[in-house]
Amino acid sequence: MRLLISNDDGVTAAGVRALANTLAAAGHDVTVVCPDQERSATGHSITLHHPIRAQRVEGVFDDRITAWSCSGTPSDCVKLAIWSLMETRPEYVISGINQGSNLGTDVVYSGTVSAAMEGLIEGIPSIAMSLTSFTDQNFQPAANFACQLLARLIQTPLPAFTLLNVNVPAIDPSHIQGVKLTRQGVRRYIEVFEKRQDPRGKTYYWLAGEAVQDVEDPENDHHIMADVEAIRENFITLTPLQFNLTHQRSLIATGQWLNDQPDLGLNLERSV
């Protein structure tokens, strides 16, 4: 299988090395294109106003792997790889393994998920992989799971335009309770901005909020466990995502609301 691997932690991160080397050892044709430095929480941003540079990386990955360092965002990396760096389009895009979880509303900000989503936008099946710890460096169990998961997906593909967001608990593999299909939960951060001064006396702010609230979305199907809940119970979570943000269940209600507003948009020249 021809694979493109990217991340948001940077090309020298331990997680992407474990993932790429494990997949190459399993016989896959692996190309790595990652940011030249950490670009976490960049969301789906792309570079428009200055050039993107890429250079080959030697000595970091298994010799069978072609690796590139890119000056752009995770989404840039995937775009550049598909359209310029790879001679043939990848059959799968895998992003990660991220240092830290991507659960609930984290996926909106996540460069890891956005890199995989970019692959999906290009019509390529994609996976985002995360290890639920900001300090644990044992990525091998998650890499082994990624290899097993890909083998299953090759045999039985997901529905079209589905991204699989995978979070692996950072615990001893013997304590993992299993694999759980989950829905995206709701995760809210209590944001704290520390006000500081630089050596010249100018004020700046540093985002330092760490506290997390996991809350329930009343519209979701509670027969399916939320990812934030399943992780707490030591399951590997598989959450299918899509890039179409249309709120399907609101279409009828919004249409009725629009029908009840007969003057909406008909008096555009009238001053307020």
Q: Which residues contact 213 (CB under 8 A, 6 or more apart)?
A: 187, 188, 189, 190
| 52: pLDDT strictly greater than 70 | yes
Q: Would you state the pLDDT for residue 154?
A: 94
CB 3 within 8 A of CB 30: yes
* Residue 26 within any structural domain of the chain: yes
Residue, of 143 and 208, whose pLDDT is higher: 143
Q: Which domain holds residue 31?
A: 2-185+220-246
* 263: helix, strand or coil: coil
* Residue 51 within any structural domain of the chain: yes
HSE-up of residue 60 (Cα within 13 Å, Cβ side): 23
* Residue 15 within any structural domain of the chain: yes
Convert the pLDDT of each residue in 227-268 to its tens digit. 999 999 999 999 999 999 888 888 888 888 888 887 776 666
Low-confidence winner among 43-47, 72-76, 112-116, 212-216 (lowest mean pLDDT): 212-216
Question: Crossing angle of helices 14-25/140-155, nearest 10°?
Answer: 50
Q: Would you state the pLDDT for residue 221?
A: 60
Convert the pLDDT of each residue in 154-164 to its tens digit. 999 989 999 99
* Residue 270 within any structural domain of the chain: no
Q: Would you state the pLDDT for residue 263?
A: 73
* Residue 140 within any structural domain of the chain: yes
Q: Would you state the pLDDT for residue 216?
A: 61
| 136: pLDDT strictly greater than 60 | yes
Domain count, the chain: 1
CA dihedral 48, 50, 56, 61 (to 10 degrees): -60
Omega before 124 cis (within 30°)? no
Domain containing 15 — which CATH number? 3.40.1210.10
* Residue 257 within any structural domain of the chain: no
Residue, of 191 and 14, whose pLDDT is higher: 14
Angle at 29 between CA 142 and CA 46, to 5 degrees: 75
* Residue 154 within any structural domain of the chain: yes
* Residue 239 within any structural domain of the chain: yes
pTM confidence score: 0.89
